[in-house]
Amino acid sequence: MNSVNNVYVELSVVLGKTTLPIHQLLKMGRGAVIELGTKQDEEIWILANNVPIARGEIVVQGERVAVSVTSVLTAAEAGSFQT
């Protein structure tokens, strides 16, 4: 069981996604704002090694941004995640 304690998993959070024409991307510079398809109060995806495992919401703790887990996904729910 101790060998499991030495295994690391990369966690990432997907805030949202969008699609835009390449010419618009090429015109972007510092200060550009990219609108995402996620609403402010919508849950975000939490991934472990690029596999969805949970949903959560953004919280601010002091000067840091964190994620509060709101639900752990079933296999069926994880399958609804689209890259």
| Inside any domain, residue 4 | no
Confidence of residue 2 (pLDDT cuts 50, 70, 90): confident
Mean pLDDT of the chain: 90
List pLDDT tens digits, range 72-82: 998 887 777 76
The predicted model gives 52-81 an average pLDDT of 90
Q: The domain containing residue 56 runs over which residues?
A: 9-78
Residue 72 lies in a domain: yes
Centre a 10 Å sphere on the Cβ of residue 47 and count the other Cβ atoms it contains. Answer: 18
Q: In CATH, what number is assigned to the domain containing residue 57?
A: 2.30.330.10
Beta strands in the chain (DSSP E): 11-14, 44-48, 51-61, 64-72
Number of domains the chain is built from: 1
Q: How far is CA 24 from CA 33, 34, 44, 53, 66, in A?
A: 12, 10, 26, 33, 31
